[in-house]
Amino acid sequence: MSPERSDRARSSRLHRVPPAARPATASPRSRFLENDAYRAEREWKRYEGTPQRELFRELRTRFLRRHTASARDALDVGAGPGRFTSALGADGARRVALDLSGAMLRFRPGPPGGPRPSVDAVDRVVGDALAPPFAPQSFDAVALVGNALGFAGEDAERLLSAVEALVRPRGSLIVEIAPGPGERSRYLARLPTGAVGRLFAAPPAAVVPRIVREGFVAEPVRHRSTAFARIDAPSLDARWRSRGWAVEEVLAIAPCLGADPAAIGRVAANARQWERLLAVEEEVGRAPARWGAAAAVLLAARRALGGHN
């Protein structure tokens, strides 16, 4: 192999934190197979009930809609109870949810406490994403959210190749990873809660420079030994670019206020401030400097006509 080809091959491999010190526990795969209705309900509620959870949910939903709005056939890989499946595709699109767990796919949310996406107009398929039961290039949009790639462990490369193969030319692939422990804005952290709300009465152009100027602080690592691999955004970006895919957006989720539920609650009480918070989180989250410490990063790539897996 020539030096140039060797460098290109290295750039296309995923970078993962070494698994030293991870305990010998049941594999994520076996735990997913053991899921039941209780776990499905917990997974559904993970993105609702508090303004902080709603912020995490809405930023993901907006990202998915931006990058799959024209898709006629959309697939949610590792969909669980289908929290984000209905955010995929155009109006009237065929939406498919694929998961190892039948209990997850059978779950339906109870009576809504407020507006929520419908999860009923979805084809649910029990199956293994490592060997998906679909023909190659069957979908205009494929989403792999919820850090399914990290939980795949040693099968991460195989999983990513399998989902890449399902995307049609000019179709989109959205992947979520969890590179770090999360972070928060120093500037927002030192303001009283009420002042944070008033700050977001101003347009994002007046808020973002203050946040960026004072920098960010990483959250403490809560679990030294984790059940998933931390994959970084640059390795995915390099992989796709080397294979002819176009990386359209990389977004760290809620790097500014995501770790401050009280302040988020204050902003959420005002619809205009809430919209501006979303815009600020997105603008700041697109900066490459925010990707390394983020607890969640979304990447959207588009397959070229000649792109390969």
For 52-104, what is each residue's pLDDT tens digit?
A: 999 999 999 999 999 999 999 999 999 999 999 999 999 999 999 999 998 89
For the chain, the domains span: 3-9+26-179+225-259+286-303
Fold of 3-9+26-179+225-259+286-303: Rossmann fold (3.40.50)
| CB of 188 closer than 8 Å to CB of 257 | yes
Average pLDDT over residues 249-266: 97
- Label residue 69 exposed, middle or buried (CB < 10 Å: 0-12, 13-18, 19+): middle
For residue 179, name the pLDDT band (cuts at 50, 70, 90): very high
The long-range contacts involving 16-24, CB below 8 angstroms and separated by at least 24 positions, are 16/156, 16/229, 16/230, 16/231, 17/229, 17/230, 19/153, 19/229, 21/224, 21/225, 22/225, 22/226, 22/227, 23/225
pLDDT tens, residue by residue, 194-241: 999 999 999 999 999 999 999 999 998 765 545 667 889 999 999 999
What pLDDT score was predicted for residue 213? 97
Q: Which phi and psi angles does 252 have, rounded to 5°?
A: -75, 135
Maximal C-alpha separation, the chain: 61
